[in-house]
Amino acid sequence: MFTQDTIERFKELETPFYYYDTEVLRSTLNACRDASSKYGFHVHYAMKANFNPAVVDAIQSYGFGADCVSGGEVRYAIEHGFDKSKVVFAGVGKSDKEINEALDAAIFCFNVESVQELEIINELAAARGKVAGVAIRINPNVDAHTHHFITTGLDENKFGVNTWQLNDVVAALRKSANLKFLGIHFHIGSQITDMEVYKSLCIRINEMQDWFEDHGFQIKVLNTGGGLGVDYHNPDSNGIADFESYFAVFKKFLNVKPGQEVHFELGRAMVAQCASLISRVLYVKMGQKKNFLVLDAGMTELIRPMLYQAYHQIENLSRTTGAEDQETNSHLHYDVVGPICESTDCFRKDVELPVSQRGDLIAVRTAGAYGEVMASNYNLRERAPSVYA
């Protein structure tokens, strides 16, 4: 929801830009902290969702850890004050250089995705006279019931170790003097709103930890990954992810033994609602079959709709000033598209909006996660700046 003052402020600014609402960010982080801390759960922020410095600094100030998927993110997390004992490093393709840097930074844990990676981390740690903390990322074959482009926990996905490879994993762990086994790690997908999925995950985690204990390995860390979804359809009336239900599922179904820590890696749920992409209508093309609103923002600013058919709420801020306007203003259907030379550069088809004109301000909502971080210079476009509330 944008106040009239905010919209007036937008009118003075060049578009497109990302608008960050720090109030929304803070209330989300408060909700996440309150819901997790009552069970003593540890939350790591999945840095890849948004590494805007103001966002990252706010998250760090709450004492959350950092979940990184590249050497660059590990470095960035430490530069931004995250405690290295709360930095974890996942990724199916960690390079030797990235592993060495993370060893030198003495991060808490590598979430290891293959037997070969275990062997390489052991070798590199030995060469530096270090011991690396490791957790095994297991592919639990749990269907996240989310879009197949963002599912990661099925046998057919590239991530993690499949259960039939676990004998090789324990064999590698037994002969690796420079690895310290910390526990097991999972991450089954993103934008998950069905809590039954997490219940299924808990059941698999319980089985897996029993398996490791039967093979003589003590588990200190149960890392359940992330993936909690947000409401892209109702950013104002349902603006905070359901952290309460989410953590309660793990409290209820995860078999946590004395001395064990439960870790989470949340990205989207922490940052999605705090930002909108603000742009202007450049041209209105009225056709016989279709009408188009051509915006000054496109897939170079926000690629989610084009990359994985993601839904975003689209609002004309210049035309929605009050309830009575909704009734008197007539509406039309538009395909809302960007200026990029690609047919897929469309935010959404058949969007019902008040009759719109060149110069109108358009907000694409819930753009805080996997938005600005995926921006590119394709077509030699300039990077859209960030504006803060």
Nearer to ligand PLP, 268 or 304 (CB): 268
* Phi, psi (degrees; rounded to nearest 5) at 193: -115, -10
Binding of residue 190 to ligand PLP (CB under 6 A):
yes
Nearer to ligand PLP, 69 or 364 (CB): 69
Rg (CA), the chain: 23
* 346 labelled catalytic: no
Cβ at position 52, least distance to ligand PLP in Å: 15
Neighbours of 151 (CB within 10 A): 21
- Residue pair 353/329 in contact (Cβ under 8 Å)? The answer is no
The single residue among 73, 117, 231, 265 that binds ligand PLP, judged by CB under 6 A, is: 265
The alpha carbon torsion through 352, 353, 356, 362 (nearest 10 deg) reads -120
* CA pair distance 74, 147, nearest whole angstrom: 28
Nearer to ligand PLP, 59 or 317 (CB): 59
Q: Out of 68, 274, 341, 346, which one is annotated catalytic? A: 341
Cβ at position 49, least distance to ligand PLP in Å: 5
* Phi, psi (degrees; rounded to nearest 5) at 73: -70, -35
Binding of residue 226 to ligand PLP (CB under 6 A):
yes
Binding of residue 49 to ligand PLP (CB under 6 A):
yes
The alpha carbon torsion through 179, 188, 211, 217 (nearest 10 deg) reads 20
The CA-based diameter of the chain, rounded to the nearest angstrom, is 74
Q: CB under 6 A: which stretch of 46-54, 209-217, 250-258, 347-355 binds ligand PLP?
A: 46-54
Nearer to ligand PLP, 65 or 227 (CB): 227
Binding of residue 67 to ligand PLP (CB under 6 A):
yes
How many angstroms separate the first and last alpha carbons of the chain? Answer: 12
The single residue among 31, 46, 77, 219 that binds ligand PLP, judged by CB under 6 A, is: 46
Length of the chain counted residue by residue: 389
Binding of residue 362 to ligand PLP (CB under 6 A):
no
The single residue among 42, 48, 94, 365 that binds ligand PLP, judged by CB under 6 A, is: 48
Output the CA torsion sign for 220, 244, 241, 233.
positive
Neighbours of 25 (CB within 10 A): 23
Among 109, 59, 117, residue whose Cα is nearest residue 89:
109
Contact mark string toward ligand PLP, 83..102, x via CB under 6 A: -------x------------
Cβ at position 257, least distance to ligand PLP in Å: 23
Binding of residue 263 to ligand PLP (CB under 6 A):
no
The single residue among 24, 25, 55, 69 that binds ligand PLP, judged by CB under 6 A, is: 69
Q: How many residues bind ligand PLP (CB under 6 A)?
A: 17
Provide the binding-site residues for ligand PLP, judged by CB under 6 A: 46, 48-49, 67, 69, 90, 187, 190, 225-228, 265-269
List, by residue number, the catalytic residues: 341
